[in-house]
Amino acid sequence: MNPRRVHILKDVPATRGPVLYWMHRDFRARDNWGLTYARLQALRTGQPVAVIFCLAPEFADATAVHFNFLLDGLTQTVHALRQQNISFFALTGSPGLEIASFARKHGAGLVVTDFDPLRVKRRWHEDLLSACELPVHEVDSRNIVPARVVSDRREFMARTIRPKIKRLLLEFLDEFPELPAHPHDWPTAPPEPDFPVLRSKIRNDAPRQNLLVEPGEQAGQAVLHNFLKSRLPLYAKRNDPNQDVCSNLSAYLHFGMLSAQRAALETQSCGLAGEHVDSFLDELIVRRELSDNFCLHTQSYDTEDGFPAWARESLHKHRNDPRPVIYSPEELEKAGTHDPLWNAAQTQMLRSGKMHGYLRMYWAKKILEWSPSPAEALRTAILLNDRYSLDGRDSNGYTGIAWSIGGVHDRGWTERPIFGKIRFMNYAGARRKFDVDQYVRTWIAPQDDASI
């Protein structure tokens, strides 16, 4: 595999011992560069390899819905790992410290970890580095072109990162190697992962959503194949929420149950071409990698400080503009606004754990319009998205909200009240683009529909 996928977090002399792969972003046994690298290092030194997972019950605003989706998928991954003679250990607690303790206890020689630009994951890595004296290598298996390779600075917008990614795709968009079952056994029989005990540590703090999404690697592959066969040819209609043409891959990509690289490889080989294919690949590769770039190089990616200077200045200029209405976070959470389209979008997320991509922009911009300040709007949008969207707590979500509310990766538009120069979206504009009434009927009972 390409050595440029690897970033050395702790460069100390290696010792002889098992290789540990800390799986915390890319929850899959196949098409996983982090696991591949750990296996290759273990083969080189003649050592066993193990995958370690540590449950952090207080992670961001994740709920039991998210954790159960993750754990349900992990049961499949454990089975696939066993077939490759790779042990799996499930821990719980403060992840970085628990991984360090496990490594010391088992005399590990190397720890391999996933890349993730979010602050909470960086803290986990810092805990690990401070608590162990082993070499720690980070592998970016989320991005096709590793985020640390494609750019060493925050990119201005998609058009500035796109040529950098395209120049490197030939080098990095390669097939994953097929490795035989690992020949070196773990010294002792690993215990069976006790998923019921892990589930008992999860806060039961949200109603069970009807996700309509089956978890796991196999399900992710099936959804990908169905999309390439049935919906990709119609992808040009993707901005119409009433058309079932979107990929439905976001949850699998977020939880790392599906590799974006695998999706890109199969898209290229499916025999289709044209604007719809180019658009999907641009969203799959450029837009997702732009989000990781934003969070990697913007410490304050979830606050106003992460907005570009022109947007901060413009929003500040209009901070005292009268709002047509102000809704509390609780009213927004319950989809209790005067806007039937916004209520329908929020209800879709509440019930299914997802929201159509076009409506996510409208949804966030209306929160800006109905909040006392941009800072409050940003906090509310992140809270609701992280709590109810299955693909929340992700660089894509933070970047998308920052685009909608704070002009990140956008330019200044015609100045108007409240929004300043932030791009504006409204109900009338949505009606011109698609059948709003049909979408509202899909998610809201007629008696709940209101006139705007």
Quote the tokens at residue 195: 């998923």
Query: pLDDT tens-digit profile of 209-268?
Result: 667 789 999 999 999 999 999 999 999 999 999 999 999 999 999 999 999 999 999 999
Is CATH 3.30.300.20 correct for 143-176+216-297?
Answer: no
Position 450 pLDDT exceeds 60 = no
| DSSP-derived pairing of the beta strands 49-55 and 87-92 | parallel
- Asked whether 291 and 158 are in contact (CB, 8 A), the reply is no
pTM (two decimals) = 0.95
Query: What residue has token string 């009433």?
Result: 242
pLDDT attached to residue 210 = 65
- The topology under which CATH files domain 3-141 is Rossmann fold (3.40.50)
Extents of the domains making up the chain: 3-141, 143-176+216-297, 304-448
Residue 199 burial class via C-beta count within 10 angstroms: exposed 0-12, middle 13-18, buried 19 and up = middle
Position 452 pLDDT exceeds 50 = no
Query: Could you give phi then psi for residue 63, rounded to 5 degrees?
Result: -115, 180
Provide the sign of the torsion angle of the four alpha carbons 24, 28, 33, 36, taken in this order: positive
Position 451 pLDDT exceeds 50 = no
Q: Name the percent of the chain lying above pLDDT 90.
A: 89
User: Which of 118, 159, 165 shows the shortest CA–CA distance to 144?
Assistant: 165
pLDDT attached to residue 203 = 78
Under DSSP, is residue 22 helix (H, G, I), strand (E, B) or coil? Answer: strand
pLDDT attached to residue 409 = 98
- Range scoring the smallest mean pLDDT among 270-274, 293-297, 393-397: 270-274
- Asked whether 418 and 369 are in contact (CB, 8 A), the reply is yes
- 235 contact partners, CB below 8 Å, separation of at least 6: 245, 276, 277, 279, 280
SS (H, E, C) 69-114: HHHHHHHHHHHHHHHCCCEEEEEECCHHHHHHHHHHHCCCCEEEEE
Mean pLDDT of 392-404: 97
DSSP label at residue 55: E
Question: Which CATH architecture best describes the domain 304-448?
Answer: Orthogonal Bundle (1.10)
Query: What residue has token string 């409240």?
Result: 418
- Asked whether 261 and 168 are in contact (CB, 8 A), the reply is no
pLDDT attached to residue 57 = 84
Position 447 pLDDT exceeds 60 = no
Query: pLDDT tens-digit profile of 180-205?
Result: 999 999 999 888 888 889 988 887 76
Position 375 pLDDT exceeds 80 = yes
Q: Name the percent of the chain lying above pLDDT 70.
A: 97
pLDDT attached to residue 244 = 92
- Asked whether 95 and 419 are in contact (CB, 8 A), the reply is no
Query: pLDDT tens-digit profile of 77-114?
Result: 999 999 999 999 999 999 999 999 999 999 999 999 99
Any idea what the Cα angle at residue 220 is, between residues 231 and 33, rounded to 5°? 120
pLDDT attached to residue 446 = 58
Query: pLDDT tens-digit profile of 353-367?
Result: 999 999 999 999 999
Supply the mean pLDDT for the chain: 95
